[in-house]
A and B are shown apart, each in its own frame.
Chain A
């Protein structure tokens, strides 16, 4: 009987559960994707190329972040279920009035939570598995990792961890439900709907002044950021952050009043259709929502900033590898005795890496020192370098040592160090493998070191993968959190203003017009914080790009595209769900 009632309740209050469901499903999906990193092509590639420690570090860091994310999601889901219970206070009251025991009502709520949780968990996990594959393809493309054939894989440990994490959250939710049901007084439950929101009237003139002050603060903060740059963390930096946050707060606090004043001065606009009503509604709600709007705006800024920067940074990886080393391989060896001759090519060949076979072009030469102690390079070695890689890198090499070119066979010169430079021919992976094997031991040297383009690239890539995953993870979590809080606030506001819409309906305002009014309000609530966050982000990214440009070029188009895509998917999804939910709440009331 109880399970029947529970399932029916979930079905009936689907419009209330919509946002809750969406949030849980998104949370589960995210949690799975970032805990199942081992299924990612990039990660697999890294660990198959001697970068297991790096992969371990990434997974560990993501694991630590997951704990933080777990807290954020737990808070969010508790907040959402609190909203649901508040909406249904009267229903709870009725159950109690009918003589149901408190534990029975609590059990009913628990059953309902369990039903929604199970479905959301299943949907979220399915979504997570799909999204994980999509992310894999996306990042593989980003890093130009050779795609082995498409493999559909599911990470069981991640699946298990996600299920455990969310079961934990649901237990918390159930505890919370049990607690609220046992604490609330019957009279409060039954009367819940009659308690009206207190309407505070604030002077409109004051709003205009506050709005202008807020804008001025923002402009000052922007100017500071752009002239000082992003990375100077000192006293003034915190002043700048403070000014920016305060400016944002004042902006939202006064915006509705400012808009109202502005529109009131234009009678044609103000006294048209429902404009007056919409603006007043917005103004009435702002007193309760401006704080959360500020927090949401800043969270969105974080989300946009983190996502865009981390995606943008990644595109600099291959360029940076190119800049650090010109050849595929660079091997330097010091002779045991200064002046001794080393045959690096022969040594490598003995180790199983035949330069003639494996390399498209290679050269080996010594760097000499003359009697004055100046570094020198023989003309013939220089010519060989130029013929293999061209004038520019050869000159760059000379310059890095401040070496001069000398003719002759090296009489009177001492060989300080021997170089072996080469570009691979054929399959670079195979050649690299052979080279690493051969370079594992080179006999009769006083010491040697080598760098390969692939290993530099791989190390860089490891760091960037870390940055990208952390960026995406936190970015999306912040995005989901802000959107969900906004959605719940709008829905509870819709429920609060149901009476007003009923009056409008009686006055003959058509359903279309009422729906439009709801949409505009939801739109304002969603897109005002987003708009300001975007402005913040553009200014912030301009400053950030100045920093990043020093180490590499940022692909602004790609990072903006990815960020925009994420925003549209998550934020847009919540926006539509909220419009739909609000309309349904109000249609039911009219």
Chain B
């Protein structure tokens, strides 16, 4: 399998003098077409890790390779280009542009990559169909439900066929039904489009949709579980098991 993401000896420190190691020597890799989750209690460094991978933050030490290219050495201009062309994002808070319709929000990801105008429509509609948002393409974000908004964000993230889709607590602000719908679409995206997804969550249910889960604690990798051939419910129980093993406040994790 082709390796999409490789993280090696990644460190991110904060502060001077008494240094906090938000991310402390993390190594892992993600293959093409994988759906990987990162779990951990708050303060475990999962968002910092994701920010480093998404080039929003710069690591203190270590390297990150995406499709064989070391993104820690990229300059400002290259970073924007890299984000634009190789990454897709889904965040917890609504990150759609409120002045644009759903259709235009998805199309924007294409136009900033200078996709020819005549190709835009077909790509947007095809992706919208996959995420079942065809009906609300002409609506503005505030006219849509939270679930529809998140699926629109997901559509925007994959319409450019990025190497890697990064999702930060995508279900965090959704009710359980919308969350389930979104996660099912993530699975579809993964299966039909071979989208490689890296998702940060602290919710075991959300995590149970992944193929593989990395557990972070105090900035270091603590454990790793793979779904293999189990069904989702068994996998969910396995995750709960690891979560219980993890130190710290359990209620925080669940």
Q: A199-B140, A276-B111, A283-B99 are in contact. Are A511 and B104 (CB under 8 A)?
A: no
On whether the beta carbons of A199 and B142 are closer than 8 Å, the reply is yes
Contacts of A274 in B (CB 8 A): 108, 111-112
User: B136 at interface (Cβ–Cβ under 8 A)?
Assistant: no
On whether the beta carbons of B77 and A277 are closer than 8 Å, the reply is no
On whether the beta carbons of B117 and A509 are closer than 8 Å, the reply is no
On whether the beta carbons of A280 and B99 are closer than 8 Å, the reply is yes
On whether the beta carbons of A201 and B140 are closer than 8 Å, the reply is yes
Partner of B85, one of A500, A506, A508, A513: A508
Give Cα distance in the complex from A280 to B117, angstroms. 18
On whether the beta carbons of B77 and A510 are closer than 8 Å, the reply is yes
Partner of A273, one of B97, B98, B112: B112
Residues 251-289 of A, flagged 1 when their CB comes within 8 A of B and 0 if not, give 000000000000000011011111111001101100000
On whether the beta carbons of A267 and B120 are closer than 8 Å, the reply is yes
User: A503 at interface (Cβ–Cβ under 8 A)?
Assistant: yes
Give Cα distance in the complex from A364 to B58, angstroms. 98
On whether the beta carbons of A271 and B107 are closer than 8 Å, the reply is yes
On whether the beta carbons of A503 and B97 are closer than 8 Å, the reply is yes
Q: A276-B100, A281-B99 are in contact. Are A267 and B112 (CB under 8 A)?
A: no
User: B76 at interface (Cβ–Cβ under 8 A)?
Assistant: yes
Contacts of A557 in B (CB 8 A): none
User: B18 at interface (Cβ–Cβ under 8 A)?
Assistant: no
Q: A280-B100, A506-B95, A508-B112 are in contact. Are A270 and B77 (CB under 8 A)?
A: no
Contacts of B111 in A (CB 8 A): 271-276
Contacts of B97 in A (CB 8 A): 277, 280, 500, 503-504
Closest to B54 in A: A506
User: B189 at interface (Cβ–Cβ under 8 A)?
Assistant: no
Partner of A271, one of B81, B89, B95, B117: B117
On whether the beta carbons of A273 and B117 are closer than 8 Å, the reply is no
Q: A283-B99, A500-B98 are in contact. Are A271 and B110 (CB under 8 A)?
A: yes
Closest to B84 in A: A508
Partner of B112, one of A196, A199, A513: A513
Partner of B99, one of A268, A500, A508: A500
Contacts of A509 in B (CB 8 A): 80, 84, 112
User: A588 at interface (Cβ–Cβ under 8 A)?
Assistant: no
Q: A199-B98, A281-B99 are in contact. Are A276 and B87 (CB under 8 A)?
A: no
Give Cα distance in the complex from A268 to B112, angstroms. 13
User: B82 at interface (Cβ–Cβ under 8 A)?
Assistant: yes
> Interface size (B, Cβ < 8 Å)?
35
User: A507 at interface (Cβ–Cβ under 8 A)?
Assistant: yes
On whether the beta carbons of B120 and A507 are closer than 8 Å, the reply is no
Give Cα distance in the complex from A506 to B112, angstroms. 12
Give Cα distance in the complex from A274 to B120, angstroms. 14
On whether the beta carbons of A507 and B83 are closer than 8 Å, the reply is yes
On whether the beta carbons of B112 and A507 are closer than 8 Å, the reply is yes
Closest to B78 in A: A510
User: B109 at interface (Cβ–Cβ under 8 A)?
Assistant: yes
Residues 509-539 of A, flagged 1 when their CB comes within 8 A of B and 0 if not, give 1110100000000000000000000000000
User: B251 at interface (Cβ–Cβ under 8 A)?
Assistant: no
Partner of B118, one of A267, A275, A280, A505: A267
Residues 34-54 of B, flagged 1 when their CB comes within 8 A of A and 0 if not, give 000000000000000000001
Determine the interface band of chain A, counting residues with CB < 8 A from chain B.
20 to 34
| Minimum CB–CB distance for B19 against chain A, Å | 26
Contacts of A510 in B (CB 8 A): 77, 80-81, 84
Contacts of A511 in B (CB 8 A): 76, 80
On whether the beta carbons of B83 and A508 are closer than 8 Å, the reply is yes
Give Cα distance in the complex from A193 to B83, angstroms. 28
Contacts of B107 in A (CB 8 A): 271, 276
On whether the beta carbons of B140 and A507 are closer than 8 Å, the reply is no
Q: In chain B between 106 and 129, which residues have their CB closer than 8 angstroms to a CB of chain A?
A: 107-112, 114-115, 117-118, 120-121
Contacts of A201 in B (CB 8 A): 140
Contacts of A500 in B (CB 8 A): 97-99
Closest to A198 in B: B142
Give Cα distance in the complex from A283 to B99, angstroms. 9
Give Cα distance in the complex from A309 to B108, angstroms. 48
| Minimum CB–CB distance for B90 against chain A, Å | 11
Contacts of B84 in A (CB 8 A): 507-510
User: B56 at interface (Cβ–Cβ under 8 A)?
Assistant: yes
| Minimum CB–CB distance for A217 against chain B, Å | 29
| Minimum CB–CB distance for B99 against chain A, Å | 4
Give Cα distance in the complex from A329 to B77, angstroms. 77
Give Cα distance in the complex from A150 to B74, angstroms. 60
Contacts of B142 in A (CB 8 A): 199
Give Cα distance in the complex from A276 to B83, angstroms. 20
Give Cα distance in the complex from A270 to B118, angstroms. 11
Closest to A279 in B: B99
For B80, B97, B118, the residue with the greatest tally of chain A CB atoms inside 10 Å of its CB is B97
Closest to B95 in A: A503
Residues 192-205 of A, flagged 1 when their CB comes within 8 A of B and 0 if not, give 00001001010000
Contacts of A281 in B (CB 8 A): 99
Contacts of A267 in B (CB 8 A): 117-118, 120-121
Contacts of A283 in B (CB 8 A): 99
| Minimum CB–CB distance for B123 against chain A, Å | 11
Contacts of B112 in A (CB 8 A): 273-274, 504, 507-509, 513
Residues 211-253 of B, flagged 1 when their CB comes within 8 A of A and 0 if not, give 0000000000000000000000000000000000000000000
On whether the beta carbons of B120 and A271 are closer than 8 Å, the reply is yes
Give Cα distance in the complex from A504 to B97, angstroms. 9
Partner of B104, one of A199, A280, A503: A280
Contacts of A504 in B (CB 8 A): 97, 112
| Minimum CB–CB distance for B6 against chain A, Å | 21
Closest to A513 in B: B112
On whether the beta carbons of A507 and B77 are closer than 8 Å, the reply is no
Residues 3-45 of B, flagged 1 when their CB comes within 8 A of A and 0 if not, give 0000000000000000000000000000000000000000000
| Minimum CB–CB distance for A101 against chain B, Å | 33
On whether the beta carbons of A507 and B109 are closer than 8 Å, the reply is yes
On whether the beta carbons of B114 and A284 are closer than 8 Å, the reply is no
Contacts of B77 in A (CB 8 A): 510
| Minimum CB–CB distance for A231 against chain B, Å | 47
A284-B99, A510-B84 given; 12 more Cβ-contact pairs under 8 Å: A270-B117, A273-B112, A276-B111, A277-B99, A280-B97, A500-B97, A503-B96, A507-B84, A508-B80, A508-B82, A508-B83, A511-B76
Q: Can you report 21 residue pairs joining A to B where beta carbons are below 8 Å apart? A: A196-B98, A199-B99, A199-B142, A201-B140, A268-B118, A270-B117, A271-B115, A271-B117, A271-B120, A274-B111, A276-B104, A277-B97, A277-B99, A500-B98, A503-B96, A506-B54, A507-B156, A508-B84, A508-B85, A510-B81, A511-B76
Which residues from chain B sit less than 8 Å from chain A, CB to CB? Answer: 54, 56, 76-77, 80-85, 87, 89, 91, 95-100, 104, 107-112, 114-115, 117-118, 120-121, 140, 142, 156
Across the A-B interface, the 10 shortest Cβ-Cβ residue pairs: A508-B84, A508-B83, A510-B80, A271-B117, A280-B99, A284-B99, A268-B117, A267-B117, A271-B120, A271-B111
